[in-house]
Amino acid sequence: MSNKYNLYKKITFSSILALIAVAIISFILVCENPSEVDVNNPNILEKPVDLADSPVKFSLEIPQFLPIEDQPKIIGGYEAIRKNLKYPESARKDGIEGVVYVKALIGIDGIPERIELMKGLGNSGCNEAAIEAVSKVKFTPAMQDNKPVRFWFAIPIRFRLPDTEK
Protein backbone atom coordinates (compact mmCIF):
# COMPACT_ATOMS: atom_id res chain seq x y z
CA MET A 1 0.00 0.00 0.00
CA SER A 2 2.83 2.33 0.87
CA ASN A 3 4.59 1.65 -2.44
CA LYS A 4 1.44 2.49 -4.41
CA TYR A 5 1.00 5.73 -2.46
CA ASN A 6 4.65 6.72 -3.04
CA LEU A 7 4.34 5.89 -6.74
CA TYR A 8 1.17 8.01 -6.92
CA LYS A 9 2.96 10.94 -5.22
CA LYS A 10 5.90 10.64 -7.66
CA ILE A 11 3.59 10.60 -10.70
CA THR A 12 1.61 13.57 -9.40
CA PHE A 13 4.77 15.53 -8.62
CA SER A 14 6.25 14.68 -12.05
CA SER A 15 3.04 15.78 -13.78
CA ILE A 16 3.05 19.11 -11.97
CA LEU A 17 6.71 19.68 -12.87
CA ALA A 18 5.98 18.87 -16.51
CA LEU A 19 3.08 21.39 -16.60
CA ILE A 20 5.25 24.08 -15.05
CA ALA A 21 8.01 23.39 -17.57
CA VAL A 22 5.55 23.65 -20.48
CA ALA A 23 4.22 26.95 -19.14
CA ILE A 24 7.72 28.40 -18.76
CA ILE A 25 8.78 27.29 -22.25
CA SER A 26 5.58 28.74 -23.76
CA PHE A 27 6.19 32.05 -22.00
CA ILE A 28 9.79 32.19 -23.25
CA LEU A 29 8.73 31.43 -26.83
CA VAL A 30 6.05 34.12 -26.76
CA CYS A 31 8.48 36.70 -25.38
CA GLU A 32 11.13 35.86 -28.00
CA ASN A 33 8.66 36.17 -30.89
CA PRO A 34 6.46 39.17 -30.18
CA SER A 35 3.64 39.85 -32.55
CA GLU A 36 4.37 41.99 -35.57
CA VAL A 37 2.10 44.84 -34.49
CA ASP A 38 3.97 48.12 -34.18
CA VAL A 39 2.20 50.01 -31.41
CA ASN A 40 4.01 53.21 -32.39
CA ASN A 41 2.50 53.10 -35.88
CA PRO A 42 -0.15 55.86 -36.12
CA ASN A 43 -2.02 53.88 -38.80
CA ILE A 44 -2.66 50.97 -36.46
CA LEU A 45 -6.23 52.15 -35.86
CA GLU A 46 -7.09 52.62 -39.54
CA LYS A 47 -8.93 49.31 -39.76
CA PRO A 48 -11.55 48.98 -37.02
CA VAL A 49 -12.08 45.64 -35.39
CA ASP A 50 -15.47 44.13 -36.20
CA LEU A 51 -16.77 42.26 -33.18
CA ALA A 52 -19.93 41.13 -34.98
CA ASP A 53 -18.23 37.93 -36.18
CA SER A 54 -16.54 37.30 -32.85
CA PRO A 55 -17.70 34.23 -30.95
CA VAL A 56 -17.53 36.34 -27.79
CA LYS A 57 -20.43 38.77 -27.56
CA PHE A 58 -19.96 42.05 -25.74
CA SER A 59 -22.76 44.21 -24.45
CA LEU A 60 -22.49 47.69 -23.03
CA GLU A 61 -26.25 47.89 -22.68
CA ILE A 62 -27.89 48.43 -19.34
CA PRO A 63 -30.53 45.74 -18.75
CA GLN A 64 -34.05 47.05 -19.26
CA PHE A 65 -35.29 45.56 -16.02
CA LEU A 66 -32.93 45.38 -13.10
CA PRO A 67 -33.77 44.84 -9.45
CA ILE A 68 -32.92 48.09 -7.73
CA GLU A 69 -33.22 49.41 -4.20
CA ASP A 70 -34.20 53.00 -5.08
CA GLN A 71 -35.46 54.06 -8.50
CA PRO A 72 -34.54 57.43 -9.98
CA LYS A 73 -36.84 60.31 -9.07
CA ILE A 74 -37.54 63.42 -11.09
CA ILE A 75 -36.20 66.42 -9.21
CA GLY A 76 -39.23 68.69 -8.99
CA GLY A 77 -41.60 65.83 -9.87
CA TYR A 78 -43.67 65.67 -13.05
CA GLU A 79 -44.23 69.41 -12.69
CA ALA A 80 -40.60 69.92 -13.76
CA ILE A 81 -41.31 68.04 -16.99
CA ARG A 82 -44.59 69.97 -17.52
CA LYS A 83 -42.71 73.28 -17.22
CA ASN A 84 -40.36 72.21 -20.02
CA LEU A 85 -43.06 70.62 -22.19
CA LYS A 86 -44.12 72.59 -25.25
CA TYR A 87 -47.33 71.39 -26.90
CA PRO A 88 -46.54 71.28 -30.65
CA GLU A 89 -48.62 73.83 -32.56
CA SER A 90 -49.51 71.32 -35.30
CA ALA A 91 -50.79 68.82 -32.69
CA ARG A 92 -52.74 71.60 -30.98
CA LYS A 93 -54.39 72.63 -34.28
CA ASP A 94 -55.23 69.02 -35.15
CA GLY A 95 -56.65 68.34 -31.66
CA ILE A 96 -54.14 65.54 -30.98
CA GLU A 97 -54.12 64.30 -27.40
CA GLY A 98 -52.72 61.22 -25.74
CA VAL A 99 -49.79 59.80 -23.85
CA VAL A 100 -46.21 59.51 -25.08
CA TYR A 101 -44.08 56.93 -23.30
CA VAL A 102 -40.34 57.51 -23.21
CA LYS A 103 -37.57 55.70 -21.42
CA ALA A 104 -34.49 57.50 -20.18
CA LEU A 105 -31.15 56.04 -19.18
CA ILE A 106 -30.40 57.99 -16.02
CA GLY A 107 -26.68 58.27 -15.27
CA ILE A 108 -25.04 58.11 -11.88
CA ASP A 109 -25.01 61.93 -11.87
CA GLY A 110 -28.81 62.07 -12.38
CA ILE A 111 -28.58 63.41 -15.93
CA PRO A 112 -30.39 61.53 -18.72
CA GLU A 113 -27.70 59.91 -20.89
CA ARG A 114 -30.07 58.60 -23.54
CA ILE A 115 -33.78 59.02 -24.14
CA GLU A 116 -35.76 56.70 -26.39
CA LEU A 117 -39.37 56.62 -27.52
CA MET A 118 -41.33 53.61 -26.27
CA LYS A 119 -44.78 54.52 -27.63
CA GLY A 120 -45.62 57.73 -29.39
CA LEU A 121 -48.40 59.74 -31.00
CA GLY A 122 -47.44 59.40 -34.66
CA ASN A 123 -46.00 62.36 -36.55
CA SER A 124 -47.65 64.97 -34.38
CA GLY A 125 -44.45 66.44 -32.94
CA CYS A 126 -45.48 65.28 -29.47
CA ASN A 127 -42.83 62.54 -29.42
CA GLU A 128 -40.03 65.04 -29.99
CA ALA A 129 -41.53 67.49 -27.48
CA ALA A 130 -41.66 64.77 -24.81
CA ILE A 131 -38.05 63.75 -25.41
CA GLU A 132 -36.97 67.40 -25.31
CA ALA A 133 -38.81 68.01 -22.02
CA VAL A 134 -37.28 64.94 -20.34
CA SER A 135 -33.80 65.94 -21.53
CA LYS A 136 -34.10 69.23 -19.61
CA VAL A 137 -34.84 67.76 -16.18
CA LYS A 138 -32.52 66.24 -13.64
CA PHE A 139 -33.10 63.11 -11.58
CA THR A 140 -31.87 61.63 -8.36
CA PRO A 141 -29.93 58.57 -9.54
CA ALA A 142 -31.00 55.00 -8.87
CA MET A 143 -29.25 53.45 -5.88
CA GLN A 144 -27.99 49.91 -5.38
CA ASP A 145 -25.98 49.01 -2.26
CA ASN A 146 -25.91 52.72 -1.35
CA LYS A 147 -24.13 53.55 -4.63
CA PRO A 148 -25.59 55.44 -7.59
CA VAL A 149 -26.08 53.25 -10.68
CA ARG A 150 -27.22 53.82 -14.26
CA PHE A 151 -30.84 52.80 -14.74
CA TRP A 152 -33.56 52.87 -17.42
CA PHE A 153 -36.60 54.78 -16.23
CA ALA A 154 -39.96 54.80 -18.06
CA ILE A 155 -41.86 58.08 -18.11
CA PRO A 156 -45.43 58.63 -19.37
CA ILE A 157 -46.12 62.15 -20.64
CA ARG A 158 -49.74 63.17 -21.21
CA PHE A 159 -50.66 65.69 -23.89
CA ARG A 160 -54.08 67.18 -23.17
CA LEU A 161 -55.59 70.31 -24.66
CA PRO A 162 -56.71 72.78 -21.99
CA ASP A 163 -60.31 73.10 -23.21
CA THR A 164 -60.89 69.32 -23.10
CA GLU A 165 -62.52 67.75 -20.04
CA LYS A 166 -61.19 64.27 -19.23
Share of the chain above pLDDT 90, in %: 43
Residues 5-17 have pLDDT tens digits of 666 666 777 777 6
Asked if 81 and 133 count as a contact pair (C-beta separation under 8 A), the reply is yes
Report, at the CATH architecture level, how domain 73-159 is classified.
2-Layer Sandwich (3.30)
Residues 76-116 have pLDDT tens digits of 998 999 999 999 999 999 999 999 999 999 999 999 999 99
pTM exceeding the 0.75 threshold for the entire prediction: no
Which range, of 64-78, 81-95, 141-155, averages the lowest pLDDT?
64-78
pLDDT score at 163:
72
32's enclosing H/E stretch is helix 2-32
pLDDT score at 33:
47
DSSP code string of 76-90 = THHHHHHHH----HH
